[in-house]
Amino acid sequence: MRTKRTPTALALIPDGNRRWARSHSLSFFNGYKMGVEKFIDFADWCRESGVSNITVWAFSTENFKRPTPERRALFDIYRKVANDKDILGRLHANETRFNVIGNIALLPKDLVKALHKVETETMDYKNHTINMLIAYGGKDDILYAAKRLVKAAINKGVKNVTESLFRAYMISSRVPDIDLVIRTSGEERLSGFMPLQSGYSELYFSKKLWPDFTRNDLEMALTEYERRQRRFGV
């Protein structure tokens, strides 16, 4: 039985959309579409369970290596979701802030515009947050901060580089330390996911392909999180 020690910040790596589509004799487009629809439900489940900050890895920098039709299909789905008034209404109803985090210069301009519109319209909410990592890579995030700090050292005379200062220069500066990372489809690695924020995260790997992930699966992950003792090196 859960004791309700719920993670404040939860991250999701939703793997398995393409494999799910193949197993159901569907196109990869339908697999991605089902995956996005599943996340909309997942965000509600998390909020109802007491999780206030969700970070989802929607598209990594490595994903740009995928075939152009796949990238376009996924961007089309994200574009449609960003322009969906019902989804925006749910964010408003739940007072949920939406953040776009990544190297957005790599994305289609109309997609960036649509995502930023949602970001702007929800920016005043403080109780719940969804961070969308898109065109994001953990190594790129570190390099981005390092380059900015070098410029700051040259142009502004910055000398004392602390962890908090370094984080302030990262693309992911708005994302807090992650309490629990969930990755689906049986893959048991982080693949460069947020190196600083996930340093002391609890990791939970589900064998379920992402579109098959259920609310009960989330409850199992949260129960396992409660069972663990977080020592933070002590």
Which whole number is the average pLDDT over 45-65? 97
Return the half-sphere exposure (C-beta side, CA atoms, 13 A cut-off) of residue 22: 5
Summarize pLDDT for 96-123 with one digit per residue, the tens: 999 999 999 999 999 999 999 999 999 9
pLDDT at 157: 87
> Nearest CA to 35 among 49, 55, 15?
15
Q: State the Cα–Cα distance between residues 156 and 177, nearest whole angstrom.
A: 28
Domain layout of the chain by residue ranges: 9-137+176-227
Which whole number is the average pLDDT over 19-27? 96
Superfamily of domain 9-137+176-227: Decaprenyl diphosphate synthase-like (3.40.1180.10)
Tell me the whole-structure pTM to 2 decimals: 0.94
DSSP code of 209? -
| From 30, 44, 63, 76, the catalytic residue | 63
Which whole number is the average pLDDT over 57-83? 96
Which whole number is the average pLDDT over 65-70? 94
Spatial strand order of the sheet with 53-60 comes to 96-101, 128-136, 53-60, 9-13, 180-183, 202-205
> Nearest CA to 46 among 87, 10, 13?
10
pLDDT at 230: 80
Q: State the Cα–Cα distance between residues 232 and 16, nearest whole angstrom.
A: 31
Active-site residue flag, 15:
yes
Which whole number is the average pLDDT over 25-48? 96
